[in-house]
């Protein structure tokens, strides 16, 4: 991790003391990235402290080590995204758990050949060909065929319309998109922002499987890497590589994506549970089975409305959290990345669009901090809490929010 590193022979030994504070605000030398990595993996943060165990003549002073680390961090922070990418990927394999500072937005704007996302402050420069002039492996071709096939099948919706099919679409949208992806996969499994009884946890996770976005272990692991490396070249889907890339292009380039997220050890908490291993190993069966059940219940129209159309709808809403909510909107908190609060994504994605709030406090079960920031997922968590099914619900304190908040003009003038 890109925290302060001590040489092996400083004459000091490191000790660690447990903290109970949910999220202290750590800024210097990438320590905030280290903290985010711990939160993303569902753990507790630990204070970095030293204890003098014995006196040994050091070969390198602690001050020199800190100065070297600061100099290296400053060098990386002055680079554009493209420069960081070239530096990291010139020596493979890369270390997906090594954190680098956020790239310079100004340097990226000045990058030769950089474009710009429409009506956005994001300067983009693709680092890999999207379609032509690159190798497509078997996984890429399968994903393209399946995603493309579902989009083609969804085009049959106008010809199979009925009020019953609209109800089926809306119900499956809520079950898979809200209960499955945002409530279960994201806030509960990826960030551990609350807990529920195992029987309910497993039911909600299965709702996520029906969304056809991957098994819970894969999804959570990739998302934790996103928070560890947000908008750096190790992020699996940063808009610095283009809007298409962060929206869905990364899903069609398995080689590039696996370089960043193939190490699943950051999801050992899920790997250790038989249920999530079973869902991973039998995932394809559940995808096919739900389409078969839809056909048995409602024929071809049900496959179109409750299957293909609903899948595509939930896919794109989830992808808009990665793309639109890193390009358009506003920031209330100084996260150092491109995350934005985007109202229309917030509504469509059941509260996930308040994305700057989320990146400021990944552990929070609530994303819409203001009364007008509609957060359907949070309302469900509150209801579960009231009936005793949701416990250990994590929220940032007002003091924590104040530390990360951008100062308003009146406050800055004072």
**Taking a C-beta distance cutoff of 8 angstroms, is the pair 180, 190 a contact?**
no
**Taking a C-beta distance cutoff of 8 angstroms, is the pair 226, 339 a contact?**
no
Residue 196's pLDDT is 99
Digits of tens for pLDDT over the chain (414 positions)? 333 332 333 333 333 333 333 333 333 333 334 444 433 334 444 333 323 333 333 333 445 556 655 667 888 889 999 999 999 998 778 888 888 899 999 999 999 999 999 999 999 999 988 888 889 999 999 999 999 999 999 999 999 999 999 999 999 999 999 999 999 999 999 999 999 999 999 999 999 999 999 999 999 999 999 999 999 999 999 999 999 999 999 999 999 999 999 999 999 999 999 999 999 999 999 999 999 999 999 999 999 999 999 999 999 999 999 999 999 999 999 999 999 999 999 999 999 999 999 999 999 999 999 999 999 999 999 999 999 999 999 999 999 999 999 987 655 555
Q: What is the DSSP string of 290-314?
A: HHHHHHHHHHHHHIIIIIIIHHHHH
**Taking a C-beta distance cutoff of 8 angstroms, is the pair 12, 48 a contact?**
no
Closest Cα partner for 314 from 354, 358, 349, 347? 349
Tell me which H or E stretch contains 51: strand 46-51
CA 327/CA 321 separation, integer angstroms:
10
* SS3 of residue 125 by DSSP: coil
Q: What are the b/e assignments for 134-156, b being 16+ CB within 10 Å?
A: eeeeeebeebeeebeebeebbeb
Cα 283–291–307 angle (5° rounding)?
105
CA 76/CA 229 separation, integer angstroms:
14
Q: What are the b/e assignments for 6-18, b being 16+ CB within 10 Å?
A: beeebbbeeeeee
Residue 63's pLDDT is 56
Angle between helices 163-173 and 283-302 (to 10 degrees): 160
Q: Phi, psi (5° rounding) for residue 50?
A: -125, 145
Residue 407's pLDDT is 84
Cα separation values, 288 from 157, 197, 210, 212, 292, Å: 20, 28, 10, 10, 6
Give 32-38's long-range contacts (Cβ < 8 A, gap of 24+).
32/336, 33/1, 33/2, 33/3, 33/99, 33/101, 33/228, 34/1, 34/2, 34/3, 34/99, 36/227, 36/228, 36/230, 36/362, 37/1, 37/97, 37/99, 37/224, 37/227, 37/228
Give 41-44's long-range contacts (Cβ < 8 A, gap of 24+).
41/224, 41/266, 41/267, 41/269, 42/191, 42/192, 42/269, 44/18, 44/19
Residue 96's pLDDT is 86
**Taking a C-beta distance cutoff of 8 angstroms, is the pair 165, 305 a contact?**
yes
The CA R_g of the chain, rounded to the nearest whole Å, is 22
**Taking a C-beta distance cutoff of 8 angstroms, is the pair 374, 368 a contact?**
yes
**Taking a C-beta distance cutoff of 8 angstroms, is the pair 233, 257 a contact?**
no
* SS3 of residue 92 by DSSP: coil
CA 262/CA 135 separation, integer angstroms:
19
Tell me which H or E stretch contains 150: helix 138-154
Give 36-39's long-range contacts (Cβ < 8 A, gap of 24+).
36/227, 36/228, 36/230, 36/362, 37/1, 37/97, 37/99, 37/224, 37/227, 37/228, 39/191, 39/227, 39/362, 39/363
Residue 410's pLDDT is 54
Residue 408's pLDDT is 73
Helix, strand and coil in the chain, % to nearest 5: 55, 5, 40
**Taking a C-beta distance cutoff of 8 angstroms, is the pair 361, 396 a contact?**
yes
């Amino acid at each position: 991790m890109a925290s302060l590193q001590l040489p092996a022979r400083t004459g000091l030994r490191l000790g660690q003391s447990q903290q109970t504070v949910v999220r202290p605000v750590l800024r210097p030398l990438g320590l905030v990235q280290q903290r985010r990595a711990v939160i993303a993996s569902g753990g507790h943060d630990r204070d970095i402290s030293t204890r003098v165990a014995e006196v040994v003549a050091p070969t390198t002073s602690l001050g020199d080590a800190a100065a070297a680390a600061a100099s290296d961090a400053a060098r990386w922070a002055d680079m554009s995204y493209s420069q960081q990418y070239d530096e990291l990927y010139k020596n493979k394999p890369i270390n997906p758990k090594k954190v680098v500072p956020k790239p310079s937005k100004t340097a990226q704007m000045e990058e030769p050949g950089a474009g710009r996302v429409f009506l956005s402050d994001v300067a983009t420069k693709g680092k890999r060909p999207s379609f032509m002039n690159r190798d497509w492996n078997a996984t890429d071709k399968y994903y393209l065929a399946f995603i493309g096939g579902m989009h083609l099948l969804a085009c049959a919706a106008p010809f199979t319309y009925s009020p019953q099919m609209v109800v089926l679409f809306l119900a499956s949208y809520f079950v898979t998109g809200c209960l499955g992806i945002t409530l279960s996969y994201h806030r509960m499994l990826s960030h551990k922002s609350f807990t529920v009884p195992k029987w309910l946890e497993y039911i909600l996770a299965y709702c996520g499987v029906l969304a056809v976005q991957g098994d819970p272990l894969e999804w959570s692991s990739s998302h934790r890497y996103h928070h560890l490396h947000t908008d750096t070249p190790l992020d699996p889907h940063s808009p610095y590589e283009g809007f298409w890339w962060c929206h869905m292009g990364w899903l069609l380039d398995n080689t590039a994506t696996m370089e960043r997220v193939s190490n699943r050890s950051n999801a050992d908490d899920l790997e250790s549970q038989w249920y999530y291993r079973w869902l991973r190993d039998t995932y394809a069966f559940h995808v096919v089975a739900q389409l078969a059940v839809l056909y048995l219940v409602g024929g071809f129209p049900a496959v179109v409305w409750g299957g293909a159309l609903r899948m595509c709808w939930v896919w794109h809403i989830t992808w808009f959290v990665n793309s639109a909510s890193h390009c358009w909107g506003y920031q209330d908190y100084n996260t150092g990345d491109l995350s934005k609060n985007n109202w229309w994504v917030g509504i469509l994605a059941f509260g996930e669009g308040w994305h700057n709030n989320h990146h400021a406090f990944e552990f929070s079960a609530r994303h819409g901090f203001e009364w007008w920031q509609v957060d359907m997922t949070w309302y469900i968590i509150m209801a579960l809490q009231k009936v005793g099914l949701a416990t250990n619900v994590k929220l940032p304190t007002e003091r924590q929010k104040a530390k990360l908040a951008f100062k308003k003009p009146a406050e800055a003038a004072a």
